[in-house]
Structures are given as C-alpha cells and as structure tokens.
Amino acid sequence: MHMQTLMQSDLHLKGIKDKYTGKVREVYTLENDTLVMVATDRLSAFDVVMPKGIPYKGQILNQIAAHMLQATSDIVPNWLLATPDPNVAVGKACEPLKVEMVIRGYLAGHAAREYAAGKRTLCGAPMPEGMRENDAFPEPIITPATKAEQGEHDEDITPEDLVSRGIVTQSEYDQLAAYTRALFARGTEMAAKQGLILVDTKYEFGKDTDGNIVLIDEIHTPDSSRYFYAEGYEERQSKGDPQRQLSKEFVRRWLIEHGFQGKPGQQLPEMSDAYIQSVSERYIELYEHITGQPFQKADLSNVSARIQENLDQFFKS
C-alpha cells in the first residue's frame, strides 16, 4: 500500500493575507490576526529538502509541539489556540522578535565546536576550562542568535549587542532570558521523566497585538532540540564515547555515508521506500519517547482533503 505524504498544502480559507513556505512548514496569515501553520511531511537536512516525504512526520512534529506548548502555558503565554487537524496548528499572529533564544545545558554541537577551537565564551556566556564534549555546564548558558533573513545563517550575538543594536530593549531581554530559563527547566524535568536529557534547544518569541511577549513556533521537538538518552550517559562520558542522541541526526549520518553533505555538485542519494519507512518508524519512536504517549496514526488516504475538511469545520464553529 502506498502511503500518502503531505509535500505541500493549498488551503482554501477565507481572508488569506499571506502564505509563507518554509523548509518544512507552511504558514497562512488570515485577516483577523489568525495564523494557520501546516506541518508537511517534508524532510530537510543540510538545508536541502529531500524529494520524498516521510509518512506521519508532519503530524509528529505538530503534535509534539502542541503537547509541549500546552505543558508550558502556565510559564509563558503562547500563540497556540487549537490543533483542528493532526498536521495543523491554529493560533494568533504575532510580530516575531528577531532573536532566537538558544539555551545549552551541555557542551554539544556548535558550542563544542567553538570550544574545541579554543573559545571560552559564547555570546558573552563563560564556558569553564577543562570541559569535554557533552559534559554538563555548571548551569545552563543562554547563547542568543540573530534571526537571519531567508538564505542567511543565524549569527551568534551577545545580550549587550542585542540591546545596543535595538533588536530588543534591556527589559525585553531580561523577560526573554527569564522565560527561557523557566522553559528549559520544565523541558528538562519532562525529559527526565522519559529517561531523556534535554541537551540544548531554542525558543522564539513574538509580541501579540497588545504588545505582550508570547512564545511562538514549536518547542522541545527533535527538530529544534537535542536530546540524549539518560541511561548510560555517565558511562559513555567516562569512556569518551559518543552519546546516544534522540534527534534527526540519523538522517544526516545516512546522507553522509551516501556521499551527500549539501555541498555543490553532490548528488542527492535515492531513498528507497524501505528506508523511508524506517525513518517514519524512527520518528514515531521519537514521538512516543518524548511525549510518553502512544502515537495515533492519522488517516493518510487523502491528507489534503482531510486537512481542508477539518479546517472548514473548525472555522465554521
């Protein structure tokens, strides 16, 4: 049986002002300051969108994000109002602040690369001497990045520069940093209950029509966060072994093994149906591991029609 994947959306909704197509998500802005965000099944790695979609991937990301936004709404108000379809989130349109609030509990990824190059501060945050890759920081550090325009890479920035460049005011930054620490603490606690370590993540914020700061976008998903398995973490660290990650890293590795890293002239390897099926299963495993809930597969017989119907129902009521 061939499973349908959602590679793009073409929604017919009243009052569409704008449609933005990202690598994975498509965002419709409606006239009444409502956003409709569709999570497609597109898979992106090395800034390249793969030609075939992954069954259930959009549903998984959308539902993890909704689960996490609901579980943190007591800490900070967020944009989400409803999820009328497994692949769709509806919420309030906000004016995004042009900063990504990155918070790191461990020396991994970009921070580890900077550390290996001899740097001992990142975005003004100190990184102590004598750390090894994947060691925990004495306490989590916030390493903000400016939100780049399309096609450019995000850039590390210090809190002082964010304020002096007028991207946010000092009091806004203080509020963002407080929210970021509280969200990361909650995310860490939720991960620990699932036998996971939340290594690092990023949060994006915006302002609603009343000028309040709200949490936007997705949080604590495997696309925006890095997770390690807690079991065996200490042992792997003491031996200097790589940590077991719960992320889409496995797709990147497969591509590298097949000679692709998004560099010019490289041929994108063909993903067989069997491999795509295995990626879909890995994503389902991610969902169950992160949320602690069994995954309910949505009907894939006609995904576009299902989404349109669910949204028509939602806006009617």
pLDDT in tens, 122-172: 999 999 999 999 999 999 999 999 977 666 667 999 999 999 999 999 999
Q: What percent of the chain has pLDDT above 90?
A: 85
Which of 58, 87, 55 is closest to 275 using CA atoms? 55
In angstroms, the Cα distances linking 296 to 34, 147, 204, 223, 300 are 27, 34, 28, 20, 12
Q: What percent of the chain has pLDDT above 70?
A: 97
Q: Which two tokens stand for residue 121?
A: 């501060």
Mean pLDDT of 78-98: 96
Question: Is the pLDDT confidence value at 250 over 90?
Answer: no
Q: Where in the chain is the domain with CATH 3.30.470.20?
A: 97-246
Asked if residue 21 lies in contact with residue 9, where contact means CB atoms within 8 angstroms, the answer is no
Pick from 44-58, 85-99, 147-161, 172-186: least confident: 147-161
Mean pLDDT of 60-89: 96
* DSSP-based helix, strand, coil % in the chain, nearest 5: 30, 25, 40
Distance (Å, rounded) from C-alpha 97 to C-alpha 224?
17
pTM, to two decimals: 0.90
pLDDT at 151: 60
Amino acid making up residue 235: E
Question: Is the pLDDT confidence value at 255 over 60?
Answer: yes
Name the pLDDT band for 237 (thresholds 50, 70, 90). Answer: very high
* 1/12: higher pLDDT: 12
What are the tens digits of pLDDT across the range 261-304?
888 899 999 999 999 999 999 999 989 999 999 999 999 999 99
Asked if residue 23 lies in contact with residue 150, where contact means CB atoms within 8 angstroms, the answer is no
- How, if at all, do strands 95-106 and 88-92 pair? unpaired
CATH architecture of 97-246: 2-Layer Sandwich (3.30)
In angstroms, the Cα distances linking 96 to 39, 47, 167, 305, 308 are 19, 22, 11, 31, 27
Positive or negative CA dihedral for 187, 188, 192, 198? positive
Q: How much is the mean pLDDT over the chain?
A: 94
Pick from 4-18, 49-63, 150-164: least confident: 150-164
Q: Compute φ and ψ for 110, nearest 5 degrees.
A: -55, -45
Question: Is the pLDDT confidence value at 189 over 60?
Answer: yes
pLDDT at 1: 44
Q: Where in the chain is the domain with CATH 3.30.200.20?
A: 16-94+272-316
- Superfamily (CATH) of domain 16-94+272-316: Phosphorylase Kinase; domain 1 (3.30.200.20)
Question: Is the pLDDT confidence value at 100 over 70?
Answer: yes
